[in-house]
């Protein structure tokens, strides 16, 4: 799950992105509304956290412009406490939800989960074959046994599982699991797929995570 955080205050931006990264989300930062529109137009984010107070274009204007451009990425607006008009204006501009500052990390994560879930059309648990992934507790079990994953391994498997047993294109994996610093010349996707294969091997000769040459990967139980 890849999230765009739009916030000009460094302290808030780094606090929010750290909390999200610790929970296996991929995070990109935009410090202005103009930059946010450019990034959200170029990348299909799973959700956007949009501060209402920004230099230049306001969060409201950004939201309106994105919706006018038919970009329907779920938007969580960050607003100031007590300003009812601001929240109403945000929702009217096309935001899906709002969170008033200051907020607790637990609430931020719960709102982001709700928004991305609505988008992905799936609930807390993702299941395929004997794999069970709990998106809330960030936990993977296989036939009841817990398997420890790093944040990036978790994000990659979550994406593959959300589409299993369909083939997921490598470019889509990069768009949803890696951030803007991803260098397409590297073989990082392959490296992470191989790490996952070691942690969740298939039966006998068949791999649970199959390579579809020239396209991408899919989960396929024997
Ligand atoms: Ca701000």
pLDDT digits (tens, 9 = 90+) for 1-28: 999 999 999 999 999 999 999 998 999 9
Measured in angstroms, how far is the CA atom of residue 29 from the centroid of ligand 1? 13
Measured in angstroms, how far is the CA atom of residue 82 from the centroid of ligand 1? 16
Measured in angstroms, how far is the CA atom of residue 7 from the centroid of ligand 1? 5
Q: Would you call the peptide bond into 10 cis, given omega within 30 degrees of 0 as the criterion?
A: no
User: For the residues 174-188, what does the mean pLDDT come to?
Assistant: 90
pLDDT at 84 over 90: no
Mean pLDDT of the chain: 92
Does this chain's domain 2-120 share its CATH topology with 125-219?
A: no
pLDDT at 47 over 70: yes
Q: What is the pLDDT of residue 5?
A: 98
Measured in angstroms, how far is the CA atom of residue 52 from the centroid of ligand 1? 7
pLDDT band at 86 (very low <50, low <70, confident <90, very high): confident
Which CATH code, of 3.40.50.2300, 3.40.50.300, 3.40.50.2000, 3.40.630.10, is assigned to 2-120?
Answer: 3.40.50.2300
DSSP per-residue letters across 51-107: ES--SSS-HHHHHHHHHHTT----EEEEEETT-HHHHHHHHHTT-SEEEEES--HHH
Single out the residue of 80, 28, 84, 81 nearest to residue 59, CA to CA. 80
What is the reported pTM? 0.83
pLDDT at 220 over 80: yes
Measured in angstroms, how far is the CA atom of residue 28 from the centroid of ligand 1? 16
pLDDT band at 202 (very low <50, low <70, confident <90, very high): confident
Measured in angstroms, how far is the CA atom of residue 98 from the centroid of ligand 1? 14
Q: Where are the domains of the chain?
A: 2-120, 125-219
- Residues 6 or more apart whose CB falls under 8 angstroms from that of 148 comprise none
pLDDT at 151 over 70: yes
Query: Looking at the domain that runs over 125-219, which CATH code has it been given?
Result: 1.10.10.10
């Amino acid at each position: 799950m890849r999230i765009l955080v739009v916030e000009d205050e460094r302290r808030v931006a780094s606090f929010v992105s750290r909390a999200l990264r610790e929970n296996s989300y991929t995070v990109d930062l935009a410090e202005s509304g103009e930059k946010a529109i450019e990034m959200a137009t170029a990348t299909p984010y799973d959700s956007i956290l949009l501060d209402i107070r920004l230099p230049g274009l306001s969060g409201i204007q950004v939201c309106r412009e994105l919706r006018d451009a038919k970009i329907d990425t779920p938007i969580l607006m960050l607003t100031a406490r007590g300003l009812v008009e601001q929240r109403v204006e945000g929702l009217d501009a096309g935001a899906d939800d709002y969170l008033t500052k200051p907020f607790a990390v637990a609430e931020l994560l719960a709102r982001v989960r709700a928004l991305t879930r609505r988008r992905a059309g799936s609930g807390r648990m993702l299941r395929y074959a004997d794999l069970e992934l709990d998106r809330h507790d960030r936990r993977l079990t296989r036939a009841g046994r817990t398997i420890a994953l790093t944040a990036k391994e978790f994000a990659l498997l979550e994406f593959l599982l959300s589409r299993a047993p369909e083939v997921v294109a490598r470019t889509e994996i990069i768009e949803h699991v890696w951030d803007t610093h991803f260098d397409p010349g590297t073989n990082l996707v392959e490296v992470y797929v191989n790490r996952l294969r070691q942690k969740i091997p298939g039966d006998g000769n068949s791999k649970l995570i199959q390579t579809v040459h020239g396209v991408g990967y899919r989960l396929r139980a024997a």
